[in-house]
Structure 1
Amino acid sequence: MRSVKEVLSLGVLYLGCALWLSSCGKADTDRILTIAGAANMQFALEEISEAFTAQTGIPSRMVTGSSGKLTAQITEGAPYDILISADVKYPDKLYREGYTLGPPRVYAFGKLVLWTTGEGVDPVLSALSRDEIRYIAIANPKTAPYGRAALEVLQHNNLDSLLQEKLVFGESIGQVNQFIRSGSAEIGFTAMSVVSAPQFENMGRCVALDSVQYTPIEQGVVVIRQKDSEGDNALLFRDFLFSATARGILKKYGYTTNE
Structure 2
Amino acid sequence: MRKILLFILSTLALFGAEIKIAVAANVSYAMDELIYSFNIKYPNIKVLPVFSSSGNLSAQIQNKAPFGLFLSANMKYPEKLYDLGLASLKPVVYAKGSLALFSRKGYGMDGNLSFLNEDKIKSISIANPKTAPYGKASLDALNGANMYKKVNKKLVYAQNVSSSFVYALNVADVGFVAKSSLFSPKVRDKNLKYIDVNPRLYTPIEQGIIMIKDFEKNPHVRVFYDFILSQDAKKIFKKYGYLVDE
**TM-score scaled by length of structure 2:** 0.91
Of 175, 185, 197, the match for 1:209: 197
For 2:184 and 2:24, locate their aligned partners in 1 and report how far apart those are by CA, in whole Å: 15
Distance 2:172 2:6 in 1: 57
2: CA distance between counterparts of 1:128 and 1:23? 57
The equivalent of 2:71 in structure 1 is 84
Letter of the 2:33 partner, please give it: E
Per-residue Cα deviation, 1:6-50 (whole angstroms, up to 9, x for no partner)? xxxxxxxxxxxxxx9983454743220112111110011111111
Tell me the amino acid that sits aligned with residue 243 of structure 2. T
Distance 1:156 1:27 in 2: 54
Unaligned 5+ segments in structure 2 are none
1:248 and 2:232 are equivalent in the alignment: no
Tell me, yes or no, if the aligned pair for 1:27 and 1:232 is still in contact at 8 Å.
no
Cα contact 1:86–1:146 (8 A) shared by 2 = yes
Supply the distance in 1 between the matched residues of 2:18 and 2:77 (Cα, whole angstroms): 24
1:174-223 CA-to-partner distances (Å, cap 9, x unmatched) read 110110111x2110101110012221222531000111111010000001
User: In the alignment, which residue of structure 1 is the partner of 2:52?
Assistant: 65
Bigger CA radius of gyration: 1
1:132/1:83 CA distance change after superposition, 3 Å:
same
TM-score of the two chains, using structure 1 as the length reference: 0.87
| 1:23 equivalent in structure 2 | 7
* Structure 1 Cα separation of the partners of residues 105 and 11 of structure 2: 48
Task: Report the counterpart of residue 144 of structure 1 in structure 2.
Answer: 132
Could you say which residue in structure 2 is the equivalent of 1:54? 40
Counterpart for residue 20 of structure 2: 34
What is the alpha-carbon distance in structure 2 between the residues aligned to residue 21 and residue 40 of structure 1? 31
One-letter amino acid matched to 1:217: I
Q: How many Å separate the matches in 2 of 1:85 and 1:189? A: 18
Q: How many residues align?
A: 237
Superposed displacement of residue 240, structure 1:
0.6
Determine if the alignment matches structure 1 residue 172 to structure 2 residue 153: no
CA distance in 2, matches of 1:102, 1:22: 20
Contact 2:138 2:202 survives alignment (8 Å): yes
Matched, 1:157 2:158: no
Partners of 1:88 and 1:54 lie apart in 2 by: 29
Paired letter, 1:66: S
| Contact residue 20 and residue 48 of structure 2 kept, 8 A | yes
Over the residues paired in the alignment, what is the CA RMSD in angstroms? 1.8
Instruction: Note closer, same or farther for the CA distance 1:94–1:28 as it changes in structure 2 (3 Å cut).
Output: farther
Q: Distance in 2 between matches of 1:244 and 1:200?
A: 26
Summarize the Cα distance change of 1:71–1:22 in structure 2 as closer, same or farther, 3 Å threshold. closer
1:226 Cα deviation (Å)?
Answer: 1.9
5 Å-filtered alignment, 1:187-226, equals 187-201=174-188, 202-226=190-214
1:245, distance to aligned residue in structure 2 (A): 1.1
* 1:102 has 2:89 as partner: yes
AA partner of residue 255 (structure 1)? Y
Instruction: Describe the shift of the 1:203–1:76 C-alpha distance in structure 2 as closer, same or farther (beyond 3 A).
Output: farther
Aligned to 1:11: none
> SS state of the match for residue 206, structure 1?
strand
Distance 1:236 1:129, change over 3 A: same
Measured at CA, do residues 152 and 21 of structure 1 come closer, stay the same or move farther in structure 2, by a change above 3 Å? Answer: closer
